[in-house]
Amino acid sequence: MELEEIGKQAVAEIKEAKDADSLEKIKVKYLGRKQGIITDIFKRLAESDLEEKRKRGPVAQRVKSDIEEAISVRTGEIKGKNEYVDVTVPPKREETGHLHLVTQVENDIRRIFEGMNFSVIDGPEIEEEKYNFDSLNIPADHPAREMWDTFWVKPVSASGEKKSKYLLRTHTSPVQVRYMERHKPPFQIISPGRVFRYEATDASHETNFHQLEGLMIGRGISLANLKFVIEEFFRRFFEGTPVKVQFRSSYFPFVEPGVEVDVKLGDGKWLEMAGAGMVHPSVLKAVKYDPSKWQGFAFGFGIERLIMVKYG
Ligand code: PHE
């Protein structure tokens, strides 16, 4: 066959190639190093005399580059054919981040308490002095106010007249009072949220942290109920990791008796997790509940403390 004929045939075959594999076979057939048709022609040319080389050399060269050119064009076409976009395929979901641990743990806690029939209540972060302190049995000159280092807000209304004093709440306990004022017992609530203290910071203290308040009011509620709910909460929160719980007698003006709750995971250290106790009769009276009829307990967890213990 004439050189040019071979070239034409090769190009025709290349154009017909259906996929990368058959294209590769054609390439080997013509240009393969060991036995390619074109390669052989070049080998023979190299052995021929000068005149033959002069005559056929440039033709062979052109045929070879035609074939190479056709292969590269066809390669592009085959690739392009396979790289179609199926617009009906649902997109892969990109991981763009995750919820903050405080939010995650807050959600976990909510789920656990909702499972024990508690309702979730919200309260304001800027609070009246009356709710943060007075109605929790902490009157203005009570030394217990020193337990909470406080950010006060300037007590002036738009018209310039003096209003009741406001502060960034130092704990979530005021939500207890706000809720009791508006509801009849029995009930059981929790209230997670931000609290603020004018405090020196260290590994376990912050000026802004999160608490989870709990309140259960009913008939004949006792410390035993408090102990059960708190221990059951820890059992569920730490998901099977053995946890030791310890109740230490303590003082908060709005409970009597008052306790602090420490937990210890495995060989870890004891860490204080919550204040708690039986709601003080003065607090019940302040919201017009009869303390001889209604009793209850309250607790306040530090959410960051729970995170520290659970996630190290
Ligand atoms: N409010 C208390 C604190 O912030 C914790 C607490 C809540 C104690 C409820 C007893 C009952 O320290």
Count of CA atoms in the C-beta half-sphere (13 A) of 129: 14
Q: Is 173 in the pocket of ligand 1 (CB under 6 A)?
A: yes
Residue 47 belongs to what H/E stretch? helix 37-47
Ligand 1 atom closest to Cα of 211? 4
Listed residue (34, 24, 29) closest to 10, CA to CA: 29
- For atom 4 of ligand 1, the residue with the nearest CA is 171
- For atom 9 of ligand 1, the residue with the nearest CA is 299
| pTM score, whole prediction | 0.69
Predicted local confidence at residue 128, as pLDDT: 92
Ligand 1 atom closest to Cα of 173? 1
DSSP 8-state symbol, 105: H
CA of 265 to the centre of ligand 1 (A): 22
- Please compute Rg for the chain using Cα positions: 40
In this structure, the number of other CB atoms found within 10 A of the CB of residue 240 comes to 7
Q: Is 64 in the pocket of ligand 1 (CB under 6 A)?
A: no
Predicted local confidence at residue 192, as pLDDT: 96
Is 299:230 a contact under the CB 8 Å cutoff? yes
CA of 302 to the centre of ligand 1 (A): 9
- Amino acid 141 reads D
Query: Could you check whether the bond before residue 257 is cis, i.e. omega within 30 degrees of 0?
Result: yes
Count of CA atoms in the C-beta half-sphere (13 A) of 139: 3
Q: Is 171 in the pocket of ligand 1 (CB under 6 A)?
A: yes
Is 274:260 a contact under the CB 8 Å cutoff? yes
Active site members: 148, 171, 197, 211, 255, 298
Token readout for 119 is 């309702």
Listed residue (247, 267, 245) closest to 258, CA to CA: 247
Q: Is 252 in the pocket of ligand 1 (CB under 6 A)?
A: yes
Mean pLDDT, the chain cut into blocks of 10 residues (312 residues total): 88 91 93 90 90 89 92 87 77 87 95 96 94 91 82 74 82 97 97 93 87 97 96 92 93 96 89 95 95 97 92 86
Predicted local confidence at residue 210, as pLDDT: 96
Is 178:131 a contact under the CB 8 Å cutoff? yes
Predicted local confidence at residue 156, as pLDDT: 63
At 130, phi and psi to the nearest 5?
A: -55, -45
Q: Is 297 in the pocket of ligand 1 (CB under 6 A)?
A: no
Q: Is 300 in the pocket of ligand 1 (CB under 6 A)?
A: yes
Predicted local confidence at residue 144, as pLDDT: 79
Predicted local confidence at residue 164, as pLDDT: 73
